[in-house]
Structure 1
Amino acid sequence: MRTPRWRRAALVAVSTLLCAGCGLMDAGSSPSSPEGADRRGTESAASDSSAETAALTWGPTPQEVEQASRIVADWTPEQLAGQVIVGRYHSTDPEVPAQMVRELHLAGVSVTNGNVLDAEQVRATTSAVSAAVAEDGRDFPAVIGVDEEGGSVAHLRGIASTFPAFRSAGDAVDRDRAEGGREGRRIVREAARASGLELRSLGFTWVFAPVGDVTIGSADPTIGSRSPSSDPRTAATATAAAVRGYVAAGIVSTPKHFPGHGGATADSHEVLPTLSTGLEELRQRDLLPFKTSIRAGAPAIMLSHLDVQALDPGLPATLAPRVYDFLRQEMRFEGVAITDSLGMGAVADLPLPAVRAVQAGADLLLMPADTANTHRTVTAAIRSSEIKPERIQEAAGRVVALQLWQQRMSQELSVPEDAAERAEAAASELEAAAW
């Protein structure tokens, strides 16, 4: 079987790190000198060690990538299919998502406002889902995600701290930039870090934020104040600062909605919008926040349900191979590519959207309309090789590698007992900085 691209990238990173030390040999030592040989041996061992433990651009180490590859190598089609699905469920009973995760081997679930009652019930839910993954024989965390952007999109309203809409992050950056300082981005970074720690205190491992879309204003019916700004530079600065904050909290962040939903004049919850922006304008405007987010260490990127004419016309970006290729090759993103919810109107009625998304390059399928049926469909596609073995192992392996990263980060970065109070303070500081 051909080595998957994601593993080849990790091996290239190891080689690069090793070669970077090739010129460090003591110039005063002869190659035949025992002293020189001993030193070279020590340096080589140190280089090998640092290469294995140095993080890749999206978080995991090459060692974690290789470990993930070994974990998924002998999995059944049912297990592989489950590990690329983040399920949807309709209940407030913690056992409902837990049972679904156990039976379908799901990567995890997305928790929405219809699934929550209070903080105690949320913790019971996240604990039950985590236990279900462990009972399924997986010793890495579940993907337990939530849309908690702040403002109008906050599914834990009344349970987690109330953050202002992400527009405040852009306003804080703008205000500070006008005064020639960097305090605005610090405040944005701290807000994301505090929010991430509070979410972890509730049992979450992922947050479907920040929004990197550059809004066009009143003609944008979907994003609006969820966007940090209508100015690409401001949006790029704010989004990257938030990513750094989430990374510092040990939670997986998900800049969205690639390649940028803020310029669409229709709502992808209802229909498939067409984005007719030219490629050069996309680069200068919509893509800039994603470029800075990737440089800031974004572990995952969420793709949008947009017909992007400049990249792969006629297809939603979530199902478009050329869009994934662009994300990987031109944007140089190596992490987890996750779809927007597959239950949205833009794709829900298309034939086999989950299978087509994985074939195109998606690593995670978010909230399909029918989780169990999607699992059956993806499993059948794996069995028939309609989804190629190297593609599904690449996808599942990336997800596992990222969860190994999240596990390590959560062990290294403890959640303070006053996480909720710190989050409230950070939310207030962000709101004040935007005025």
Structure 2
Amino acid sequence: MRRTTLAAVAVLPLLAAGCSTVSTDPAPPDAGADRSTTSPTVPATTGQAQEAKVDPDAPLPWGPTAGELADAEALVAGWGSEQLAGQVLVGRYAGTDPEVPAALVRDLHLAGVCVTADNVVDEAQVLATTAAVEAAVAEDGRDFPAVIGVDEEGGSVAHLRGVATDFPAFAAAGEAIADSGRRGRVAVKDAAHATGLELRLLGFTWVYAPVADVTIGAADVTIGSRAPSDDPVLAGAAVKQAVAGYNRAGIVSTTKHFPGHGGATADSHTTLPVLTDSLAALQARDLAPFATAVQAGAPSVMIGHLDVEAIAPGVPSSLAPQVYDYLRGELGFEGVAITDSLGMGAVAGTPTLAVKALQAGADLLLMPADTRRAHATITAALEDGTLDRARVEEAAARVVALQRWQARIAQDRPVDESAVEKAEAASAALREAAYGY
């Protein structure tokens, strides 16, 4: 769909103090380049046990600079329990009144909200919603943008249908690369780039894509054509290009659903799927595209609700320390680990769910069934010592640093209405590269 007019969007001021130790224009993660998992350092003097000095302008593998992360760590260390609890939550809300999510963010100091199809009326209402949420963040005294995310994968999972451009399902990405080689890779990257720009035009800062799951075909009842391929090599190639495109657009992408939902024969929206494959089999198929995404500079990875017997038997991945340890230790991921929606059936009814996810290693909790209750539970756990404050500070600092990266890149790469035409052209190019029409 092509928009002809756009309502004015409130722009969050970017205060110089928030990034005082960083350069004005460091680039985001390089498109598709392999990256080290450690920050560049200055070697200590020979024979001296000096602490390595980190260049504050050095970009971390997942986007922010070392200085942005250090500033974020210092900031959250001074927060009270309620503000700290809010910064690790992305809330859900009902209805289409822009003031509802804004009040939730303002009252609970939330990192942000997830916008779903049920929250969408039309373009003007979406713009009003994202502007209201950003205004609430500014009123709360924050100098970085909110996490305003949406599931906009293409195909059947497109919560802005009728407002944003329609793209084919992500299966087209694998097909395009398989059928058209380099032209297909360019089409996938351009599609992600164009999607990111159009979402930014509407006020979004996050997109819950790309899907890195490797589908097993008909037995895969949940992912299907949302997956880029049934071939892990093609899936990895598609995810690599998508991450690069989103990074270039200045929007935070979320590679999902780690450690891989494509081999599950049950739907985690309703129950907890069990994956019985060996670790070697998982590494060869399910985990491979996630490793590629991390090397490509993925800023965020979504942890699915899966019982992966080879890693953490009997425990949902989103609540399993072993899964987060694998993501960070084996794959070298340093960015924001976000849970899949905590309102899903796979984890429904779990006592102190939000606290357990943070204890396991999550940095950001997506859509608890009751956002206010989750906030109260986290706050109480911080106050009584059940939840280690250092763990939550670590999580919140990653989120703040990533939002400052997003704001910096967005400021350097402004968008205008031409993003709509670019999205329409990119959608057509991806479809042609994949299917020839």
Answer yes or no: same fold by TM over 0.5: yes
Q: Does 1:19 align with 2:6?
A: no
What residue number does 1:409 align with? 409
Q: Distance in 2 between matches of 1:274 and 1:304?
A: 12
Q: Which residue of 1 aligns with 2:338?
A: 338
Matched residue of 1:149: which SS? strand
- 1:110 corresponds to: 114
Superposition pairs for residues 303-322 of structure 1, below 5 Å? 303-322=303-322
The one-letter code sitting in structure 1 at the alignment partner of 2:91 is G
Partner of 1:372: 372
Matched, 1:83 2:87: yes
C-alpha separation in 2, matches of 1:415 and 1:51: 30
Identical amino acids, percent of aligned pairs: 62
Deviations for 1:236-272, whole angstroms, at most 9, x for unmatched residues? 0001100000000000000000000000000000000
Q: Distance in 2 between matches of 1:132 and 1:416?
A: 24
Q: Distance in 2 between matches of 1:325 and 1:288?
A: 16
**Cα deviation 1:86-137 (Å, max 9, x = unaligned):** 0000010000000000000000000000001001100000000001011001
Q: Which has the larger radius of gyration?
A: 1
Poorly superposed stretches of 4+, deviation over 6 Å = none
Q: State the number of aligned residues.
A: 394
- Which protein is richer in helix relative to its size? 1
Distance in 2 separating the partners of 1:290 and 1:176: 23
**Amino acid in the other structure paired with 1:19:** P
SS in 2 for 1:52: coil
| CA RMSD, Structure 1 to Structure 2 (Å) | 1.5
State whether structure 2 residue 142 is matched by structure 1 residue 138.
yes
**Once the 2 structures are TM-superposed, how far is the Cα of residue 318 of structure 1 from its aligned partner?**
0.2
1:151 to 146, 152, 155: 155
1:286-325 matches, cutoff 5 A: 286-325=286-325
Structure 2: distance between partners of 1:276 and 1:107: 35
The separation in 1 between residues aligned to 2:343 and 2:237, in whole angstroms, is 31
Alpha carbons 2:381, 2:387 under 8 Å: kept: yes
State the 1:51 CA deviation: 2.3
Amino acid aligned to 1:351: P
Query: Is residue 54 from structure 1 mapped to residue 58 from structure 2 by the alignment?
Result: yes
**Once the 2 structures are TM-superposed, how far is the Cα of residue 13 of structure 1 from its aligned partner?**
4.4
What amino acid does structure 2 have at the position aligned with 1:434? A
Q: Secondary structure at the match of 2:113?
A: strand
Which residue of 1 is the match for residue 23 of structure 2?
none
Q: Distance in 1 between matches of 2:189 and 2:96?
A: 32
Q: Unaligned regions of 5+ residues in structure 2, if any?
A: 1-36, 47-51
Paired residues for 1:21-420 under 5 Å: 51-177=55-181, 182-420=182-420
d(CA) in 2 for partners of 1:381, 1:117: 38
Hey, what's the Cα distance between the residues in 2 that align with 1:246 and 1:415? Answer: 14
Shift of residue 417 of structure 1? Answer: 2.8
Q: Residue 94 of structure 2 contacts residue 119 of structure 2 at CA under 8 Å; is this kept in 1? A: yes
Q: Residue type of the partner of 1:69?
A: E
Measured in 2, the distance between the counterparts of 1:420 and 1:387 equals 45
C-alpha distance in structure 2 between counterparts of 1:159 and 1:348, whole Å = 32
SS of 2:85 mapped into structure 1:
helix
Q: Which residue of 2 is the match for residue 36 of structure 1?
A: none
Following superposition, the deviation at residue 183 of structure 1 comes to 1.6
Q: Aligned AA for 1:18? A: V
Aligned equivalents of 1:372, 1:184: Cα separation in 2:
45
TM norm structure 2:
0.88
CA distance in 2: counterparts of 1:369 and 1:319, whole angstroms = 16
- Structure 1 partner of 2:15: none
For normalisation by structure 1, the TM-score amounts to 0.89
Structure 1 unaligned spans of 5+: 1-11, 24-46
**Alignment deviations for residues 339-369 of structure 1 (CA, whole Å, 9 cap, x no partner):** 0000000002111111100000000000000
